[in-house]
Each structure stands twice: as C-alpha cells, then as structure tokens.
A and B are shown apart, each in its own frame.
Chain A
Amino acid sequence: MSDRDERLLRGTAEVLDGVGRELERVRTQPRRLDADAEQVGRGLAQLVLTIVDLLRQLMERQALRRIEGGTLTDEEIERLGLAFKALAERMEELKQAFELEDEDLNLHLGPLGDLM
C-alpha cells in the first residue's frame, strides 16, 4: 500500500479543497470541548441547532419525495415551501448570532447518512 501521503491519485488542489469542504460538512475532526462558560452556552446552541438542522433536512427530503410521488396538493407544497424557507432563514440568523458556520453544525451520521 502506498504511504499515507500518496493516497491522492487524481484531483487539482482547488478541487481537493472543495471536496474537503464538503466532507467536513458531514463530519468534522473531534474538537476539544471548551469548559469556558461562554463556550458552553455556544456549545449548547451548537448542539440544538445541529439537531434542528438535521430535522429540517430530513423533513425537506421527505417533502421532496412526496412531491415526486405526487402525494402533496399544490396548496400543501406552497405552505411547506414557505415554512421550509422561513425555517432556513431563521437557522441562518441563529447561526450568525452564535457565530456558527455550516461545518459547526455537521452531524456524524454514519449509516443514517443514507437517509440524507
């Protein structure tokens, strides 16, 4: 087996960075938890928002499947769409308020990742 530095067989630096960024969205390096009070509050916000974001994505994915399957009325699509839009916008505001990036809200889903 090639040594660890030679595992990259194809890919320009720019694309590697792009792929790395996307991989970090679904997984991040374990970070040391900060015991600082402010950080603990932020850590809690991070945990809550991560779960909310996961639910939002799962529900959106579910809605898309139902649209594809033809089991939602036009009115339902409109209402759902507005609700998801509003939720996504609110998530953005909360992330900014807590200075959280997309990478901070990733969830190591493992086998659950197939649901996403």
Chain B
Amino acid sequence: MSTASHVSHRPAAGSRDVTLLELLDRLVDNGVVLHGDITLAVADIDLIYVGLRAIISSVSSLEERR
C-alpha cells in the first residue's frame, strides 16, 4: 500500500494511539451482538444493562412522533 507520503508512522511515545482507539471503537461498539446485554463503563465502573436496546428504541420512536 503506497501511503508513506500521507502518513505519520508509529505514533511518538506518549501521543494518542489512534489505532488503538479505532480498534477499541470497533471491537467494543460493533460486531455481532449475541444477546441483549450491553456493558456501559462509567469512570471505570461497569454497568450492565439487560434489554437496553428496547429502551433506546422506544425513546427514539417517542421522539419521532413529536
């Protein structure tokens, strides 16, 4: 892949690791969901919500009806 002219190479020590953030975003927020549990992390405390999707979709459909 000829991208050398466009890209900074390995991030300097201490700089934000965008690749890792992208990976985190993909693996944790995407991909097949096998069951309805979704984990939210707030200040390092994991809160697990079962059936959260049902709540989210009813909130958005409430808004659509306004």
Contact = CB atoms under 8 A, between A and B. Distances in A.
Interface in A42-99: 43, 46-47, 50-51, 62, 65-66, 69, 71
Interface in B37-66: 38-45, 52-53, 56, 59-60, 63, 66
Contact of A71 (B15, B17, B52, B66): B66
Interface residues of A, number: 42
Contacts of A71: 66
A27 B17 CA distance: 13
Interface of B: 1, 3, 6-11, 15-22, 24-25, 28-29, 38-45, 52-53, 56, 59-60, 63, 66
A111 B44 contact: no
Given A10-B7, A11-B6, A17-B16, A110 B38 contact: yes
B19 A9 contact: no
A23 B25 contact: yes
Contacts of A19: 18
Given A20-B18, A20-B21, A111-B56, A13 B8 contact: yes
B21 A107 contact: no
Contact of A12 (B8, B24, B66): B8
B8 A16 contact: yes
A16 B42 CA distance: 25
Nearest to B11: A16
B25 A107 contact: no
Contacts of A27: 21, 24-25, 28
A68 to B, nearest CB: 11
Give the 5 A-B CB pairs with smallest separation, nearest first: A20-B16, A13-B8, A108-B41, A23-B21, A20-B18
